[in-house]
Structure 1
């Protein structure tokens, strides 16, 4: 049996951040368990940003992207007509940052201030901004000459950025699109014609507006948590990373976490933690592991024959995720990405651009442009995130690349529908029960229907006149709100941002303490991942998860120093 100071369960985004920061102290011994494999950052399908579109396409499974993904199946949602939905998550060192769309969004200031106001002092926007800056290497600041021709609204983007919101020298490379498609400018023109402002920096003073997405890329390649946090720490002798290791249970001595039972190579092992066990397996698996270890709702545990070690009713509750729908528009020109006889030569040139200079189409995540808008006059801040995809195929609506066109997406930012995580059985090899309850609250559908009207409004602007062909989906025959809602129920997907199932707080349903991220009522057991967020933020969740983990690492270090001082 091995013993370390800290055992981190989960080598996803949060786990990689914590492992890196804790092992900065050479006297601290850290082990990290991850069920997926490592070294995926070296694979072309991962390094190449456009490769992410293939991860959800069954006919491209031979490229290997699906081997890096869990494809969980949700319970039927009444709001979807009892349809089940596939919920992908990353299965690799680096977690979902190895398969995501690389979009770097922090969310709105109000998101974090609401966390603070819900009883979580120290988690407001001003508290987290230093961690966003600490983790970031903002390419526009570090290599301004490389982006001198990168413009928005006729002005260089770098001249529109307030650097007070950005960091230099952090592990996460945050870059502008390397070779944005020319149709992005058409989209921006159409949005201005439709009355929406241009915004050069969604992570600056305000989020509202339309512009380019910042991407977690470096030199035109994906730059996930394996590259940014795990790799720099791998050579440290005080870090041991165990991949292809499935965590089975948290080992407890009374109310104290002392280690982890895990399976690797067909054998069951135990690993001891002298200081803390840090659970970082995400919003689906962290509550499952707690429940499998006898920590959670007593009725849920007893139903599966699990002895109740610690009653904590909030474990698995409060599941939140973003729901998204789309329009697909055929183009009369071939400026968007796609396969056609007329573009065979240019597509071949894009291959050469990728291999020779890491530029061109293969550096694209296909969603380089988008923005944040209010769905109506009755909302005081953006409640919809828009995406403009320069191909009709996308991760949410994956199908053929044949032909030319674009897809627009609208994502609900702050859903009122709340789900939960439970157990299907006491077998750790079985996936958890995931019940998102999408559209359980009618408000969510109302906002997305408004989103479809907004996307059509943008599409119908003069800027798109020379490109606009047939609306493939939903089709212009679908006009009434009722018909649009029916379309959305058949054509929607999660944005892969599950959060809040082990939320921080001090109310009866809180799971971890905001001052420590330790599980309420237990010793030496912390949860550090998106599950501790009290509510989902208004945007993509990679950047917030990094900030949470950076702050958590500081909390863990502070506890260690206090213990040492007390012992002295």
Structure 2
């Protein structure tokens, strides 16, 4: 069948594109998604991020890995990516953070017309259904529901107090007039209606039943895009594998790639668009040489400190911890509140590495459980963790092919810490994070530290 628009990738961007384009009943749209419908309990229940994020087993998760990283002593990084309608918004921690206004202005200065903060702010407000209501920076009527956490753990409030003792200001809105500070995250979670307390992914927000029922919108799930078909330099459709058969989905107007930072360059290269040498290495004829495809990959590297907890009012995976989670699940099913509605990364901070920088360059995520290697190393005891990440890494990597087979994963090479400035900044952030985690307000919880170093933390 032929459509006006064929969209590859039903993640955050693809869901929005499909919803908005199909608002015109005279426009036909086909959305192609490799994963499922994005409506299962693992996605809807916020706490079940713990069952998806590790990729063991691969529940709604591509569970990619990087190439061995010289900057990490040859280790491979783990790259969880959502595989369902909603994309990574279906498996993330639901934290609602829009970024710093100066980031958008900088993109505009670099040539991205229309991406300055004042131009994008109205679209943020239009998309947002914030429980706090509308104001100069927020919207209240948008499809993406933004909620307060229903019941943050006491330890999260103690984390905020500890950070304020380290001279960070408290904030109740990381998307407010000033981003810098410490506080609780708002979450993309339903705060009204029968789905109250459930995750509000991009699919839940933009592809509800009423939108899926549109006669001019076709959504194909569990469909693997094979290549973009080209004729005389123009995209005429997308070849997919769906239901065990190869099919051509034709377009009369445009093919839109929204398969993410890894999937979109991979599909372009499989289609013969990209660096000539990369294509030749895999026996792919070059239809259009475009050296920038897959280049300039930028990824946030973070460092985690984890502690056992002397108290049991955090998350644990031992017998009592699992019993607590079971009780919390029943409460969540009843009224959408409590621990099972938690993003686990309940608190955080945006901080500066030095007073001289013009905006925060480090971010903290405080987690009410032990997070070790994306939950791939399980600890049964009660505990808590904190991440620090570099917001604007200088290191640059690339995405390529591992094979000319669409079923094979892309080659992901972030080149972590290839620019020495990133390591120095990460070390500064780790020092600031440890100062917070060893402050008196957390004394009641602080037990044995995982992977301790002598003195202040030291990243080698």
Q: Is the 8 A contact 1:331 1:467 kept in 2?
A: yes
- Partner residue in 2 for 1:169: 141
Distance 1:318 1:223 in 2: 31
Could you list the structure 1 runs, at least 4 aligned residues long, displaced by more than 3 angstroms after superposition.
56-59, 339-349, 397-401
| Count of residue pairs the alignment pairs up | 454
Residues 340 and 53 of structure 1: is their aligned pair in 2 closer, same or farther, counting only changes over 3 Å? closer
State yes or no: 1:429 paired with 2:407: yes
Distance 2:360 2:87 in 1: 28
User: Structure 1 length normalisation: TM-score?
Assistant: 0.77
Q: Is the 8 A contact 2:143 2:206 kept in 1?
A: yes
CA offsets, 1:184-213, max 9 Å, x none? Answer: 111111111111001111111111000111
Distance 1:200 1:395 in 2: 30
State yes or no: 1:363 paired with 2:346: no
Q: Is the 8 A contact 2:42 2:52 kept in 1?
A: no
Q: Is the 8 A contact 1:391 1:401 kept in 2?
A: no
Distance 2:287 2:379 in 1: 52
Instruction: Choose which of 55, 80, 84 in structure 1 pairs with 2:72.
Output: 80
Residues 395 and 178 of structure 1: is their aligned pair in 2 closer, same or farther, counting only changes over 3 Å? farther
State yes or no: 1:129 paired with 2:103: no
Instruction: Choose which of 418, 427, 431 in structure 2 pairs with 1:440.
Output: 418
Q: Is the 8 A contact 1:366 1:394 kept in 2?
A: no
The structure where helix makes up a greater share of residues is 1
Distance 2:55 2:294 in 1: 31
CA offsets, 1:31-64, max 9 Å, x none? Answer: 11111111x32x22221101001223477x4xxx
Distance 2:308 2:266 in 1: 43
Q: Is the 8 A contact 2:133 2:140 kept in 1?
A: yes
CA offsets, 1:262-299, max 9 Å, x none? Answer: 11122111111101111111111111111111111122
State yes or no: 1:228 paired with 2:197: no
Offset at residue 472 of structure 1 (A): 2.1
- Partner residue in 2 for 1:141: 133
State yes or no: 1:288 paired with 2:262: no
Q: Is the 8 A contact 2:54 2:374 kept in 1?
A: no
SS at match of 2:112: coil
Unaligned runs of 5+ in 2: 191-195
State yes or no: 1:335 paired with 2:335: no
SS at match of 1:19: helix
CA offsets, 1:85-107, max 9 Å, x none? Answer: 12111111111111111111110
CA offsets, 1:138-196, max 9 Å, x none? Answer: 01228xxxxxxxxxxxxxxxxxxxx2110121110111111111111111111111110
- Partner residue in 1 for 2:193: none
Higher relative contact order (CA 8 A, sep 6+): 1
State yes or no: 1:209 paired with 2:181: yes
Q: Is the 8 A contact 1:53 1:395 kept in 2?
A: no
Q: CA RMSD in A?
A: 1.9
- Partner residue in 2 for 1:493: none
Offset at residue 137 of structure 1 (A): 0.3
**1:144-159 alignment to 2 at 5 Å?**
none
Residues 457 and 179 of structure 1: is their aligned pair in 2 closer, same or farther, counting only changes over 3 Å? same
Distance 1:393 1:357 in 2: 27
CA offsets, 1:527-551, max 9 Å, x none? Answer: xxxxxxxxxxxxxxxxxxxxxxxxx
Offset at residue 24 of structure 1 (A): 0.4
- Partner residue in 1 for 2:107: 115
Distance 2:26 2:326 in 1: 52
User: Structure 2 length normalisation: TM-score?
Assistant: 0.94
- Partner residue in 2 for 1:55: 52
Residues 207 and 244 of structure 1: is their aligned pair in 2 closer, same or farther, counting only changes over 3 Å? same
Q: Is the 8 A contact 1:220 1:359 kept in 2?
A: yes
Q: Is the 8 A contact 1:328 1:392 kept in 2?
A: yes
Offset at residue 339 of structure 1 (A): 4.7
- Partner residue in 2 for 1:148: none
